[in-house]
């Protein structure tokens, strides 16, 4: 399926530092762009025996869940999608250090642990609005990075199958109010924050389903959905005739839907103790765009075409394995988790560009390709806490706080590329006030995050680099306000 839109238009501009022309296509797919709908990719079927006791059923369920989880982790191929995890999802987890793998919050479980969907007691919906101010600096200059803002909607719908079994489905959507997707392929030699320029400007869709046995064991699966950008590209023709110039253009871009696998396990050996495990497949948005220009100038030998082929990867999120625990101590809830991100599988950061010129002049072909990124795998520790305060009329006030540390996977940029990124400490705060005494129970939630970038100095040793040394630093401030409603 193809779609034509004038909003996805490449904007070549010269690099301000290299002094030579650099192709910097920028695409902004806005909310009114027509996006093709995905077709049904397949169906699944589950069969089983009747008559087993609850104890044997629970043991069988645990074994099957473990095998299924392992098979998804081992056999899943790299997928193409874009769930955002720079700030987290939902004010609860955002205020608790982005912890959620062992949480019983089914409303946002499609993002943190699909197994927790079946832990929800009632159907619920969460609507929130997020804003992030990116106060970053490159050698004391403003890098002109857009602030992040957008809506989030998530929900869960549980169904009690029998006395000890619960089935649930749920999902979530993050929708920026500026773009559906923003693809900006900056020159690799130009210093820019590679983790922040486009990463927070994207639409995210995640769906999941889970089954839970006896409030003890739960297993869930899901998928992240997004679209690649490819197609026949942009074609335009310029023709010069006596007394007039003729020009026309056509854009043909396809948005094939991709899905990334998600799996999760949740074990609750005690009502006050929970352990969770999450796997997420590799995610990215791949760009394949060909720009064809046809030109003819009467009275000269210049006639033919120019073909610019751009291939790149954006919105890359690595494969992840995360494990953690939550414990309730009276009114206090403590959470801790550790996540592993496999950045070493990142195939490309800078876009490969091929320029074919067939106008009867030289050169005929120009190509630009950059070395492999060689990013590092990282471990991310996260901590969170929540304190419950009971109020009159059965109302509840929650005070929340958290912290996490994320080391940058970007190696030292001593060569021709200039990707800026920093280690960061993140402190989080938030709260919630519930009102169960109205027609339907609802909760008002809020979260705040401060991302403190550790200053990083980059010293070049490669003489071919068109830029010199640079320093990256700054902060990122994030706020979220949400409304959660339960359907009794």
Distances (CA, A) of 148 to 125, 403, 480: 23, 21, 11
| CA–CA dist 112, 121 (Å, integer) | 18
What pLDDT does residue 176 have?
87
Residue 35's pLDDT is: 34
Round to whole Å and give the CA distance between 227 and 181.
Answer: 9
In tens, the pLDDT along 444-487 reads 999 999 999 999 999 888 666 677 889 999 999 999 999 999 98
Q: Residue 243: pLDDT band by 50, 70, 90 thresholds?
A: low
Q: What angle do CA 461, 465, 470 make, to 5 degrees?
A: 70
DSSP, res 54: H
Kindly tell me if the per-residue pLDDT of 15 is higher than 70: no
Alpha helices in 96-183 (DSSP H): 109-112
The DSSP-derived string for 60-126 is: HHHHHHHHHHHHHHHHPPP-------SS-SSHHHHHTTT--TT---GGGHHHH-GGGGGG-SS-EEE
- Collapse the DSSP code of 13 into the 3-class scheme (helix H, G, I; strand E, B; otherwise coil) and give the result: strand
Spell out the residues 6+ positions from residue 164 whose beta carbon is closer than 8 angstroms to its own: 54, 58, 213, 214
Q: Return the closest-CA partner of residue 403 out of 92, 96, 102, 100.
A: 96
Higher per-residue pLDDT: 354 or 452 = 452
The mean per-residue pLDDT over the stretch 152-156 comes to 96
Q: What is the pLDDT of residues 373-390, one digit of tens each?
A: 889 999 999 999 999 999
Residue 430 confidence (pLDDT): 98
Token pair listed for 371: 């070395």
13-35+55-486: CATH topology is: Porin (2.40.160)
- What is the structure's pLDDT at 78? 36
- Tally Cβ neighbours within 10 Å of residue 410: 24
Distance separating alpha carbons of residues 89 and 386, to the nearest angstrom: 17
Q: Are strands 470-486 and 442-453 parallel, antiparallel or unpaired?
A: antiparallel
pLDDT of the residue at 136:
95
Rg over CA atoms, the chain: 25
DSSP H or E segment with residue 21: strand 21-22
Choose the weakest-confidence range: 209-213, 281-285, 432-436: 281-285
Distance of CA 84 to the CA centre of its chain: 3
Coil, strand, or helix at residue 279?
Answer: strand
**Residue ranges per structural domain of the chain:** 13-35+55-486
Higher pLDDT, 247 or 141: 141
Backbone angles phi, psi at 27, to 5 degrees: -125, 135
Mean of all residue pLDDT scores within the chain = 77
Q: Tell whether the model's pLDDT for residue 365 goes beyond 60.
A: no
When comparing pLDDT for 14 and 394, which is higher? 394
* CA atoms within a 13 Å half-sphere pointing along the CA-CB vector of 101: 24
User: In terms of Cα–Cα distance, which of 445, 424, 434, 338 is closest to 382?
Assistant: 338
> How far apart are the C-alpha atoms of 359 and 19, rounded to whole Å?
25
Buried-exposed string 75-84: b where 16+ CB fall within 10 A, e elsewhere: ebeebbbbbb
Q: Identify the CA nearest to 354 among candidates 291, 415, 304, 287.
A: 291
- Whether 337 contacts 322, CB under 8 Å: yes
Q: What does the block give as tokens for 165?
A: 């079994």
Q: What is the DSSP letter of 454?
A: P
CA dihedral 116, 118, 119, 125 (to 10 degrees): 90
Phi, psi torsion values for 392, nearest 5 degrees = -60, 160
Residue 433 has pLDDT above 60, yes or no: yes
How would you class 298 by CB atoms within 10 Å of its CB: exposed for 0-12, middle for 13-18, buried for 19 or more? exposed
DSSP string, 328-381: EETTEEEEEEEEEEEGGG---SSPEEEEEEESSSS--EEEE------PPPEEEE
Q: Which helix (H) or strand (E) holds 56?
A: helix 54-75
Taking the whole predicted model, whether its pTM rises above 0.85 is answered as no
* 201 pLDDT above the threshold of 50: yes
Residue 9 has pLDDT above 60, yes or no: no
Which pLDDT belongs to residue 16?
A: 35
pLDDT of 5 > 50? The answer is no
Residues 378, 310 contacting (CB under 8 angstroms): no
Before 298, cis peptide (omega within 30)?
Answer: no
Q: How far apart are CA 388 and CA 367, in angstroms?
A: 61
Query: Mind listing the pLDDT tens digit for each residue in 155-193?
Result: 999 999 888 999 999 999 988 887 766 666 667 788 889
Residue that is written with structure tokens 């929540």 in the block: 386
Longest Cα–Cα distance in the chain = 89
Q: Which residue has the tokens 């942009």?
A: 234
Q: What are phi and psi of 388, to 5 degrees?
A: -95, 135
Q: Residue 26: its pLDDT value, please?
A: 41
pLDDT at position 324 over 90: yes
Q: Which residue has the higher pLDDT, 413 or 217?
A: 217
Q: What average pLDDT does range 263-287 have in this prediction?
A: 90
More confident residue, 2 or 191: 191
pLDDT score of 8: 35
Least confident of 124-133, 136-145, 360-369: 360-369
Per-residue pLDDT at 28 exceeds 60: no
> Average pLDDT, stretch 98-116?
95
Query: Which tens digit of pLDDT belongs to each residue from 47-105?
Result: 333 444 444 555 555 545 554 544 444 433 333 335 467 899 999 999 999 999 999 99
């Amino acid at each position: 399926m193809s779609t034509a839109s004038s909003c996805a238009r490449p904007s070549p501009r010269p690099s301000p530092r290299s002094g030579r022309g650099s192709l910097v296509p920028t695409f902004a797919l806005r909310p009114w762009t027509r996006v093709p709908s995905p077709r049904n990719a397949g169906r699944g079927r589950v069969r089983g025996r009747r008559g087993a006791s609850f104890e044997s059923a629970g043991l069988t369920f645990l074994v099957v869940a473990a095998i299924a989880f392992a098979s998804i982790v081992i056999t899943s191929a790299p997928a193409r999608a874009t769930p955002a995890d720079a700030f987290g999802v939902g004010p609860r987890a955002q205020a608790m250090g982005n912890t959620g793998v062992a949480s019983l919050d089914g409303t946002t479980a499609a993002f943190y642990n699909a197994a927790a969907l079946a832990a929800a007691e009632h159907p619920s919906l969460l609507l929130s609005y997020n804003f992030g101010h990116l106060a970053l600096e490159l050698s004391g200059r403003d890098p002109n990075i857009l602030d992040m803002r957008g809506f989030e909607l998530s929900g869960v719908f549980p169904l009690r199958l029998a006395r000890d079994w619960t089935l649930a489905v749920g999902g979530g959507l993050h929708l920026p109010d500026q773009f559906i997707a923003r693809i900006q392929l900056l020159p690799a030699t130009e210093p820019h924050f590679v983790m922040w320029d486009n990463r927070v400007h994207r639409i995210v869709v995640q769906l999941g389903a889970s089954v839970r046995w006896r409030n003890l064991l739960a297993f869930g699966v899901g998928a992240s959905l997004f679209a690649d950008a490819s197609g026949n590209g942009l074609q335009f023709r310029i023709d010069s005739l006596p007394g007039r110039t003729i020009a026309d253009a056509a854009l043909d871009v396809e948005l094939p839907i991709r899905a990334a696998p998600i799996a999760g396990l949740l074990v609750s050996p005690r009502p006050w103790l929970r352990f969770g495990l999450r796997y997420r497949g590799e995610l990215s948005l791949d760009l394949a765009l060909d720009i064809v220009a046809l030109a003819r100038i009467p009275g000269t030998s210049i006639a033919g075409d120019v073909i610019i082929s751009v291939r790149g990867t954006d919105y890359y999120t690595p494969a992840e394995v995360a494990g953690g625990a939550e414990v309730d101590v009276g009114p206090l809830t403590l959470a801790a988790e550790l996540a592993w991100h496999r950045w070493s599988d990142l195939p490309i950061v800078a876009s490969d560009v091929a320029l074919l010129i067939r106008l009867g002049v030289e050169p005929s072909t120009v190509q630009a390709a950059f070395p492999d990124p060689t990013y590092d795998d990282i471990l991310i520790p996260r901590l969170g806490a929540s304190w419950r305060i009971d109020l009159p009329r059965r109302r509840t006030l929650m005070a929340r706080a958290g912290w996490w540390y994320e080391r940058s996977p970007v190696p030292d940029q001593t060569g021709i590329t200039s990707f800026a990124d920093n280690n960061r400490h993140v402190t989080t705060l938030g709260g919630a006030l519930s009102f169960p005494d109205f027609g339907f129970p609802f909760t008002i939630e809020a979260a705040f995050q401060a991302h403190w970038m550790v200053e990083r100095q980059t010293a070049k040793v490669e003489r071919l680099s068109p830029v010199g040394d640079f320093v990256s630093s700054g902060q990122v401030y994030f706020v979220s306000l949400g409304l959660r409603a339960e359907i009794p």
